[in-house]
A and B are shown apart, each in its own frame.
Chain A
């Protein structure tokens, strides 16, 4: 089993973004001199940046475990050796029902090689086999700043191929830069 985490550098960047957004939105709201529609706008922005801050906290402590049977996530604050962790989630590869790989970036990063965009992998499926006690639907989402992201995408693509899951054109197109071609007989980077 291999464990991955979001590196501190990417988490710090998100903390700075959340702090900057909250400072601007809350700072202006606290002046109390805003007309109602401007206050509404900055209130919505404060909520958005607040949610982003909470997501970043969760991401800082997120631990992703990958093996041949499935992928597991756990939010583990504190010492990884002693902490039990919270919000455990598990997705068995044989229960994978959907895979999406999206790319988000500025117009420039869409057109320019090595741009500042990022990828997002979304996996849907069930926690265990049909006979499993905790067999429920689950969705997992990872961004490309996660350590071992290419390995997770390769493993998910391999499972999607084995399960004969319909992959949309956008995902197939985004897999190619990672050296994964689902249409090839022996896809590069896949252990078939």
Chain B
């Protein structure tokens, strides 16, 4: 496993480098840059533009340097935790993002845990008790979750959370804690607000996962090795957990790489509705204004999540089911 882990980590490094280069190229693709957009806006408003000042700003922001030099400076900064300078906010990206990356990560992680914690027991129950009353009820709830638009559910939950628990509308914390240092009361305020976005974002994913797990497990439960295990007298729980469940969850583990970024980028609409201080709305604004280092940092964050997610799922799959699917897979 050590050799496999080392090999996988070494493939992550060129992958991340290639992604960072592609992101930088794409951000630079639109004609002009942030300064030219600014000049156009100033001229449209009838303001005078001092060419010397523009040249000074171009030098100051490093926009006069060759493309590859700009890229190299950005990448070395990224590795050292320096995400660059946000032109629009006139602040280092680290300060602009502030707690947003962490809050986004907390929301995403809580949503994943919620999704798995709810979907797995229900999916297993639905498969084992197929066509029972419980299966029908849970299937109905699952379809309801799939069919309800997230933003609508967000509005409904916001209303009832305010009505019943007095939770303030919108945001991931009470307004008085925004831009304040971290304290226990700030953490408890976040926990008080966190359940709404977690339920809203997690509901559709949970419903989809219940359906897939049920279908996968039903397939496995009908295979001959399960009948053999039952015939040998193994307890029903052991028969279920030993092989069918492990086989049924393989696709979910393989999917971790896609789940992480989807939770973050797919939650933009919900973040706007709930006024969450997450990365989604800020990324949209940064892309619109060609704030290249801010947008690039967000995109790099998402890409890193994909690569890390795939790495985690590969390690989990290697530990769970290290089999050759086709003959002749091993060459070394």
Chain A residues in 8 Å Cβ range of B1? 104, 120
Q: How far is the CB of A16 from chain B (nearest CB, A)?
A: 9
Q: In chain B between 1 and 28, which residues have their CB closer than 8 angstroms to a CB of chain A?
A: 1-7, 9-11, 13
Chain B residues in 8 Å Cβ range of A120? 1, 3
A177 with B7: in contact, given A52-B2, A109-B329, A114-B331 (CB under 8 Å)?
no
Q: Are B322 and A114 in contact (CB-based, < 8 A)?
A: no
Task: Tell whether B180 is near chain A: CB-to-CB under 8 Å.
Answer: no
Task: Tell whether B284 is near chain A: CB-to-CB under 8 Å.
Answer: no
Please report the C-alpha to C-alpha distance between residue A111 and residue B2 in the assembled complex, in whole angstroms.
Answer: 22
The A contact surface, by secondary structure, is helix
Partner of B327, one of A20, A106, A113: A113
Q: Are B330 and A118 in contact (CB-based, < 8 A)?
A: yes
Q: Are B327 and A104 in contact (CB-based, < 8 A)?
A: no
Partner of B80, one of A17, A38, A102, A170: A38
Chain B residues in 8 Å Cβ range of A111? 325-326
Q: Are B330 and A103 in contact (CB-based, < 8 A)?
A: yes
**A28-36, A65-73, A74-82, A158-166 - the one binding chain B:** A28-36
**A43-51, A89-97, A126-134 - the one binding chain B:** A43-51
Size of the chain A interface, CB-CB below 8 angstroms: 46
Please report the C-alpha to C-alpha distance between residue A6 and residue B9 in the assembled complex, in whole angstroms.
Answer: 23
Chain B residues in 8 Å Cβ range of A104? 1, 3-4, 318, 322
Chain B window 69-108, contacts with chain A (Cβ cutoff 8 Å), 1 for yes, 0 for no: 0000000000111000000000000000000000000000
Task: Tell whether A10 is near chain B: CB-to-CB under 8 Å.
Answer: yes
Task: Tell whether B163 is near chain A: CB-to-CB under 8 Å.
Answer: no
A174 with B324: in contact, given A17-B6, A104-B318 (CB under 8 Å)?
yes
A48 with B331: in contact, given A33-B80, A113-B326, A174-B323 (CB under 8 Å)?
no
Q: Are A10 and B332 in contact (CB-based, < 8 A)?
A: yes
Partner of A113, one of B4, B5, B81, B329: B329
Chain B residues in 8 Å Cβ range of A51? 2
Chain A interface (Cβ < 8 Å from any Cβ of B): 10, 14, 17-18, 20-21, 24, 28, 31, 33-35, 38, 45, 48-49, 51-52, 55, 102-107, 109-120, 143-145, 169-170, 173-174, 176-177
Complex A-B, nearest 7 residue pairs according to Cβ-Cβ distance, in ascending order: A102-B322, A104-B4, A35-B81, A177-B327, A145-B332, A118-B332, A119-B330
